A and B are shown apart, each in its own frame.
Chain A
Amino acid sequence: MAGYILRRILEVIPTVLLVLTLVFFALRIMPGDPAVAALGEFAAPEAIEAFRDKLGLNKPLYVQYFSFIGQALTADFGRSMNNNTSVNALLAQALPHTIVLGLTATAIGIVVGIPFGAMTAVHRNGKLDGFGRIFALIGFSLPEFYFGVLLIIVFSLHLDWFPMLGAGKGFVDQAHHLVLPAITLGVVMAAFVMRLTRSSLLEVLRRDYVRTARGKGVPEHWVIFKHALRNALIPVTTGLGIYLLTTLSGTITVELVFSRPGLGTMLISGVSARDYTVVQAGLVVFAFFVVCVNLLTDLLCAAIDPRIALR
């Protein structure tokens, strides 16, 4: 197992370098000039030139590239091109909000999705399963921004149960602010996890080893939650990993809808200011998340299924 973990971590390195390179060049191809964005359309050409010099934008591309890679690897992203604050400070402010949102939503997705999915599989075609089908249909078809706005209208505007915007101050207030955005992301994820768990478990329940467990006199709830579910969770884990990657964009949407500070908000304002350093840093962190989620998914699968690490 230790060998497997090490191997998987080493395999990640080329991916990381590739992603960093893509991020760098994608930004240079993007139209617009950070100096113009910072100084305005009508600034004197000499001023713009001086500004570009100061930011290092007049250096050869490869020099900029290697200095960026160096920054990324040492996790020091320099200063914002727009207002000269330290990008690391911006990240330190934004990241916790995004991480808390992402983790809470994932927790909702798992805690609701897996047991619910398991129960719909066990009581296939029953009432609960029918309800699950409708729930999934809604979850799959509602875009996050629409669902978020809907929640705001009902629970903030009409019922006034939850605050509408921002992230709040202090633990209780922040938790209060977290509820609607986390539900927005979490419910959609729960719908996905539920359907995945259901189909995966139904497949596993047909396997011979489930009959073997019953034949040993194992009580039915153990047959399902110990023998079958553990096997069913292997595809669920992989699927959830992929889902989490695609849902990073959902996080950005939700941050915008709820005007929450966070990585998404930071990225979007960085893009509109052509603030290369901020956008680069944001994308690097996103890429880091992607790599982490991938790695975590693989390690979790290996922990569930002994065949993976021993291959």
Chain B
Amino acid sequence: MSLLEVDRLQVHLFTNRGLVRAVDGVSFSLEAGRSLGIVGESGCGKTMTALALMRLIPTPPAQIVGGSIRFDGEDVVAMDDARLRALRGNQIAMIYQDPMTTLNPVFTVGEQIAESVRLHRHDGRHAAFLRAVEMLKLVGIPDPDRVARAYPHQLSGGMRQRAVIAMALACDPKLLIADEPTTALDVTIQAQILELLRRLRDDLGTGIILITHDLGVIADLVDEVVVMYAGKLVEHAPVRQLFAAPQHPYTRGLLRSVPSLDMREHRLRTIDGTVPPAHAMPEGCRFNPRCALVMDVCREKEPPLVDVGGGTRAACWALA
């Protein structure tokens, strides 16, 4: 049994301007202690997928309308509130995109970390606070005692993100979901946070889902990659395979736009066009207006997700 099994997950948003199929039939699974990357441009449904795993999607407007999520064999979609609370912050924890808004401004960092320890381990106030200090130390904060007593606004963005990571790890979760944990940080801090995640992955054996719009970030951080486009899973492959032999035209486009490590080659190309707005989704393959290989069938029928060899699944008529 896998740690996490997501099967044909559908998250729809019922907005004033119409229905948004933010996540439309996404399936993947994750074994305990393994790591998975979810990549795709902004607006492709990565955050909605991540939030759905903890049932944290904003309701209204969002709702899980189909599919299933099994965590440790348990059905998350059907879970009652008490069971869900016992899961959140304890078995599954999340690191969010913007550390500036993730922490509550009126409580100290230590209190906020200690809160989940008190909730899930039923530790006393003091023991929980000590645990918070210990976690801050673990994530590489040099002065954990002082930082635990500080309020979020007294810390830099990088420090806050470390604190958020400490909070997520406080109860030894089996699954850690990191939603673009470095996007809001400047470049040097980004590298430090990624290094921290790498170390934690090796030391703690936690399952990790790392979400990013930047393929360059995940090459040596995850075991497999799911590529999402406009709410659809378009390619799922082991990470080496994905970099060595990307199959889907969208994945290839994404890979071409990764800045090469030796900065001599400066041709940073992006895929032409943008993700279509929800109310103007093209028929057939959602990528067809931007695809160089587009065929007639692409404009009529959605391509099925099929095994294309090398451990890769992809949804493209050119591969089917």
Binding site for B on A (CB under 8 A): 207-209, 211-220, 227, 230-231, 304-307, 310
Residues of chain A contacted by B89 (CB below 8 angstroms): 215-218
B101 at the interface (CB under 8 A from A): yes
Indicate if the CB atoms of A306 and B105 lie closer than 8 Å. yes
Tell me the smallest distance from the CB of A226 to a CB of chain B, in Å. Answer: 9
Query: What is the distance, in angstroms, from B291's C-beta to the closest C-beta of chain A?
Result: 35
- Expressed in whole angstroms, the Cα–Cα distance for A209 and B160 within the complex equals 13
Q: Is the CB of A217 within 8 A of B120?
A: yes
* B104/A212 in contact, CB under 8 A: yes
**Complexed CA–CA distance, A214 and B92 (Å):** 12
Q: A212-B104, A213-B104, A216-B167 are in contact. Are A307 and B94 (CB under 8 A)?
A: no
**10 nearest A-B pairs in the assembled complex, by CB-CB distance:** A216-B89, A217-B88, A208-B101, A217-B89, A209-B104, A217-B85, A216-B116, A306-B151, A307-B153, A215-B94
Chain B residues 101 to 124 lying within 8 A of chain A, measured CB to CB, are: 101-107, 112, 115-116, 119-120
Q: A216-B119, A217-B88 are in contact. List 14 more A-B contacts (CB 8 A).
A: A209-B104, A209-B105, A212-B96, A212-B103, A212-B167, A213-B115, A215-B56, A215-B89, A217-B89, A217-B120, A218-B89, A218-B115, A231-B104, A310-B154
B105 to chain A, nearest CB (A): 6
Interface residues of B in 130-153 (CB under 8 A from A): 151, 153
A305 touches B94 (CB 8 A): no
Point out the residue from A207, A218, A220, A227 that lies within 8 Å of B101, measured CB to CB: A207
Q: Does B245 contact A (CB under 8 A)?
A: no
Contact assessment for A214 and B167 in the assembled complex, using a CB-CB cutoff below 8 Å? no
Write out the residue numbers on chain B whose beta carbons fall within 8 Å of the beta carbon of A307. 105, 151, 153
**B119 contact from A212, A218, A220, Cβ within 8 A:** A218
Interchain CB contact under 8 A, B103 and A220:
no
- Inter-subunit contact A215/B103 (CB<8 Å): no
Q: Is the CB of B54 within 8 A of A306?
A: no
Residues of chain A within 8 A (CB-CB) of B98 are 208
Complexed CA–CA distance, A209 and B167 (Å):
13
Asked if B80 CB lies within 8 Å of chain A CBs, one says: no
B contact residues, total (Cβ < 8 Å): 32
> A211 to B101, alpha carbons, bound, how many Å?
10
On whether the beta carbons of A216 and B88 are closer than 8 Å, the reply is yes
Shortest CB distance A266–B (Å): 42
Q: Which residues of B contact A215 (CB under 8 A)?
A: 54, 56, 88-89, 93-94
Q: A220's closest neighbor in chain B, by CB?
A: B81
With a CB–CB cut-off of 8 A, which chain A residues contact B81? 220
A208-B96, A306-B151, A307-B151 as given contacts; A217 in contact with B116, CB under 8 Å = yes
Whether A214 touches B101, Cβ cut-off 8 Å, given contacts A230-B106, A231-B106, A305-B106, is no
Give the residues in chain B near A213, CB-CB below 8 Å: 104, 115
Judge if B86 is at the interface, Cβ distance under 8 Å. yes
Q: Are B119 and A217 in contact (CB under 8 A)?
A: yes
Complex: A296 Cα to B94 Cα, angstroms: 39
Whole-angstrom CA separation of A230 from B84 in the bound complex: 25
Knowing A207-B101, A217-B87, A217-B90 are in contact, say whether A306-B106 is a contact too (CB < 8 A).
Answer: yes
Of all chain A residues, the one with the shortest Cβ separation from B85 is: A217
Query: Which residues of chain B are near A219, meaning CB under 8 Å?
Result: 85
Which residues in B have their C-beta under 8 angstroms from that of A212?
A: 96, 102-104, 112, 164, 167
Please state if A305 and B105 are interface contacts (CB–CB under 8 Å): yes
Report the bound CA distance from A304 to B105 in whole Å: 10
Indicate if the CB atoms of B151 and A208 lie closer than 8 Å: no
- Which B residues are in CB contact (< 8 Å) with A211? 56, 58, 96
Closest to B86 in A: A217
Q: Can you list 19 A-B pairs with a CB-CB distance of less than 8 A?
A: A207-B101, A208-B102, A209-B103, A209-B105, A211-B96, A212-B96, A213-B115, A214-B56, A215-B56, A216-B88, A216-B116, A218-B85, A218-B115, A220-B81, A231-B105, A305-B105, A305-B106, A307-B105, A310-B154
Which chain A residue shows the least CB distance to B51?
A: A211
CB contacts under 8 Å to A, within B192-234, are none
Q: How far is the CB of B176 from chain A (nearest CB, A)?
A: 12
Complex Cα–Cα for A215 and B90 (A): 9
User: How long is the Cα–Cα vector from A231 to B116 in the complex, in angstroms?
Assistant: 20
Chain A nearest CB: distance from B114 CB in Å? 11
Residues of A within 8 A of B96 (CB): 208, 211-212
Q: List chain A residues, Cβ under 8 A from B164.
A: 212
Within 8 A of A (CB), among B10-65: 54, 56, 58
